């Protein structure tokens, strides 16, 4: 497993790469990819850090596992490659954007253009076995991604964190809420959205309002 991340992240994360847990994690992931079908493709494991530089970072969206279906995961949480059918959570994200900022539902489910604007699309576990949700949890990824969130909280200011669902909301303990903005809601999955915990949260317009209030460019969702 090659750690391909944007140069701007290396200063802030270099210490993590030399810790024993990360060495064990790398060995685990390499073995998994040799012996099982895993996602995302190995070259895209760190895509969230390749497409969003630390310097441009202004929004963090926290997911859990990568998609575990064939050809879905592309290293960005909730995102899929261009030609892939949109998963249910992504459909609900796009529906909320339609309602919130009146932007037409897109053909592509690839969210790379969000990342390029400074949106870190961070799964807390960066790899998964095919068709086995949660199969790479508790192997070290959470330690790494917690360190990422902590580093962002300490070294940046005015970041908008979007915490969707119970799992993501637990990460608030890593965030200095006096320095940063935190928006929470239910998860966009149908189970949560259909119970009224997702639609109407207006997180996309609220995020842009907070960014513009801080003199930053809004995100073109």
Residues identified as active-site: 65
Phi-psi region of 60 (alpha: psi -120 to 50; beta: other; left: phi over 0): beta
Token representation of residue 137:
């949890």
Residue 113 has φ and ψ, to the nearest 5°, of -70, -25
Q: What are phi and psi of 120, to 5 degrees?
A: -85, 115
Q: How many CB atoms lie within 10 A of CB 131?
A: 11
Torsion, Cα of 95, 86, 48, 126 (10° steps): 120
Question: What's the DSSP call for residue 80?
Answer: B
Contact 118, 61 (CB under 8 A): no
Rounded to whole angstroms, the Cα distance separating 46 from 57 reads 15
Q: For residues 183 and 160, give the distance between their C-alpha atoms in angstroms, rounded to a whole number.
A: 7
């Amino acid at each position: 497993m090659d750690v391909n991340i944007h140069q701007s992240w290396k200063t802030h994360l270099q210490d993590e790469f030399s810790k024993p847990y990360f060495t064990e994690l790398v060995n685990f992931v390499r073995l998994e990819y040799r012996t099982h079908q895993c996602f995302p493709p190995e070259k895209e494991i760190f895509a969230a850090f390749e497409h969003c530089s630390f310097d441009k970072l202004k929004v963090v969206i926290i997911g859990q596992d990568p998609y575990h279906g064939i050809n879905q995961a592309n290293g960005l949480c909730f995102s899929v490659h261009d030609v892939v059918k949109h998963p249910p959570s992504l459909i609900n994200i796009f529906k909320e954007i339609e309602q919130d900022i009146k932007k037409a539902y897109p053909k592509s489910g690839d969210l790379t253009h969000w990342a390029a604007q400074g949106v870190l699309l961070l799964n807390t576990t960066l790899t998964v076995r095919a068709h086995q949700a949660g199969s790479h949890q508790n192997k070290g990824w959470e330690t790494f991604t917690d360190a990422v969130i902590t580093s962002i909280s300490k070294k940046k200011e005015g970041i908008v964190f979007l915490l969707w669902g119970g799992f993501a909301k637990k990460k608030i303990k890593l965030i200095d809420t006096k320095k940063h903005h935190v928006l929470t809601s239910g998860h966009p999955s149908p189970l949560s959205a259909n119970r009224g915990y997702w639609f109407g949260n207006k997180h996309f317009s609220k995020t842009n309002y907070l960014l513009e209030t801080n003199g930053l460019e809004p995100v073109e969702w």
